[in-house]
Amino acid sequence: MTLTTPQKADLRQRYLEVDTANVADILDELGYTDYGLSSAFWPIRETQNKLAGWAYTVRGQMTPYPGTGDPAKMEAVAGLQPGDISVWSGGHAEGVCFFGELIARGMQHRGCAGSLIDGGIRDIEWIARMNFPVFTRYRTPVQSIGRWQVNAWQVPVYLPGATTARVTVRPGDFILADFDGAIVIPFELVEDVLERAEALTVKERSIREDLDKGLTLPEVLAKYGHV
């Protein structure tokens, strides 16, 4: 399946109108039961927008190296396209930051729609002011230079999962995250899952309206079935 740039933009906007909970339910129905990500991922601010977009993967690892920067990191993020989510696989890094305000600002100017980071970030106050959605695993002021280095990008990566130790994220898969958590939608399922999630969203809206009108929960479940 090949999608045009306008098609990808339309799908992304529609995903912003559905919740991760409904997407998770649809993936379960389709037999894709292990695509939720670990609850260790958290949004950097309480009023943050949803994170939704196409996975652009960046992989790195803890390794000592000389120098004052990581040229591979700059080369990696140069390929981001509008609507992409930069997905950082940290190689189980602990205690160091490999994402901060300046790199976030540069990615935002390229049209990047947010970041999902299996590792640490800093400059949180400044990133929060940018209206740039970020879900991360921890915070730290300690920089990555000389400690952690990018070793590949736009390759399949592992992220920690909710119901399994690792979830594979491929370039072009779809990432959706909100206050319930984060989930991966395989590229080949993006359209089918979205249509089903939209239908479920409409159904739930009707259920809320009926409950607000005074119907009991058993009456609503008899009318609509389990949701």
Task: Note whether 31 and 191 are within 8 A (CB).
Answer: no
Task: Note whether 186 and 194 are within 8 A (CB).
Answer: no
Q: Is 122 annotated as a binding residue?
A: yes
Q: Is 123 annotated as a binding residue?
A: yes
Task: Note whether 131 and 190 are within 8 A (CB).
Answer: no
pTM of the shown model: 0.91
Domain boundaries in the chain?
5-187
Which pLDDT belongs to residue 196? 96
Q: Is 101 annotated as a binding residue?
A: yes
Q: Is 85 annotated as a binding residue?
A: no
Q: Is 217 annotated as a binding residue?
A: no
Which pLDDT belongs to residue 28? 97
Kindly give, in sequence order, each residue whose CB lies less than 8 Å from that of residue 10, ignoring residues fewer than 6 positions away. none
Tell whether domain 5-187 is in CATH 3.90.1310.10: no
Which residue has tokens 């209206």?
131
Q: What is the DSSP string of 117-171?
A: EEEEE--HHHHHHTT--EEEEEE-S-B-TTTEEEEEESS-EEEEBSSSSEEEE-T
Low-confidence spans in the chain with pLDDT less than 50: none
Q: Is 198 annotated as a binding residue?
A: no
**Distance (Å, rounded) from C-alpha 185 to C-alpha 32?**
9
Task: Give per-residue pLDDT as tens, 123-135.
Answer: 999 999 998 999 9
Rounded to 5 degrees, what are φ and ψ at 137? -100, -30
